[in-house]
Structure 1
């Protein structure tokens, strides 16, 4: 009898993500150690964008900046479709879920897109990195103003909060845009080297994501994640997060098909339009909710953040394999 040639393959990057989460749960970064991890992650991300800036041609960057049709779709997914799903979850769960967790689920849907991981996943997938840089950064900048406004309209906040996080604007400029611009300005000197060694980007892409996962999950564990939730509550939040993530991934995929986006731009819409930023959510929650409420409100954000990283890592690896199998699509 002939033996089946089918072999189930587990992506090593997903195993690395699992290992990092387990490590953060057992040995989370604390105090000065957490700051060291954060600095290392920042440096890795800066290196990532420096290399992408050196890799991209001026024509590709101008195309990314001018792709307003794509950027508007990303913003619509982030600040219109996502909140609509959040309102639906609020109506469906208000009678049997803790009110603070319900507020946290809705608050989650109002946040801007992530920047670092969205662009890194786009790069791994062979998507339009220039457009992803523009879309993710624009989403984050607009979210500084729009997220507090939407939260004030849709959630009962304590009022009087500052709402706007100007430090977030500076962080985006310093950590992402400046290294990207520096790399691009140095492209005449180092561009040919980067083009000859494109595989250098893969460990930087994936390494930066692993560092961000460890840093974010460590913070959640230190804040008492496992003490605040029972297994039943955790399972319920995970299920609702999975429903929410599945809905927005389906919506962005359909948007890309219906609007006729290219494969590269469709990847940007998928990753930038389906992600939510924990880094922006933490300070915004502190400004919009009473201190005693912030922990519970952030729990759905933290759970969704980890889930989106796992799912999007799997999707990015799949897109990368497809691109390798069909070089014409890369």
Structure 2
């Protein structure tokens, strides 16, 4: 295994320190470097906090800043941050209006964020939105329900914009829960993930194979299929997504093609072109687009397609200004 690192044990800490030093305009460390927070907090605004294991960068630390997150906690690779990290972020980010925690639907994340809410709930107004946009988990019948994957970015962006406009905690939670029901994602990979601590890949494929329905922690999907053309692969992803989402008249569609870490931009844009053509031919016009590497699985060569059906209000919130290391528009 060859990676640009010193040791597997120090990789996350050194990477996060480099991120903060590179983006000092947006972010700073919290006390004892237990979390990353916005450099400038807004008094009286509901604080938006998220987090998860390292290995998904730029999520979540790259989404800390104006119009998105107020703080983010980073665990070891593919490992949830601890309750103490989350509580420290709550203590620092709450400026009087409470905190909304945005949590991906994974057992470890849910357990630790729920524990933090229980421990800090007497001192702060807290609530939680669980993101569960991944089609694949429900198709395989896993009991925990859908995983939270690339659609987490959309939830954090829209809730972040609403918080900037002064939306109170209870309304933010309601907005997030409603939005989550109208976001669906599915991924595909051409290789497994090389985890630094183990120096092993999470799954191995033959040269002519691909893994359909992968997760962002290197989990294999539901089927190992023969490698196919981009149009065939993207068409399968889009067809599966469309069949699993309720299309309502007047919805404003957002198409997000996300790189999982090892896929070059040229291939992502090619995939977006095919996905947009397939979805619009299915009768869903695309009004918003995002293409890039935002929610990764270390070095996985793969991508995911996310379709979100937004209300007029959510569409406006998506377009609202954002200034973070990973997303920035006027």
The TM-score bracket by the shorter chain reads under 0.3
Q: Larger relative CO (CA 8 A, sep 6+): 1 or 2? A: 1
TM-score of the aligned structures, taking structure 1 as reference length: 0.28
Bigger helix share: 1
Query: Please, what TM-score do these two structures have when normalized by structure 2?
Result: 0.28
Query: Which has the greater radius of gyration?
Result: 1
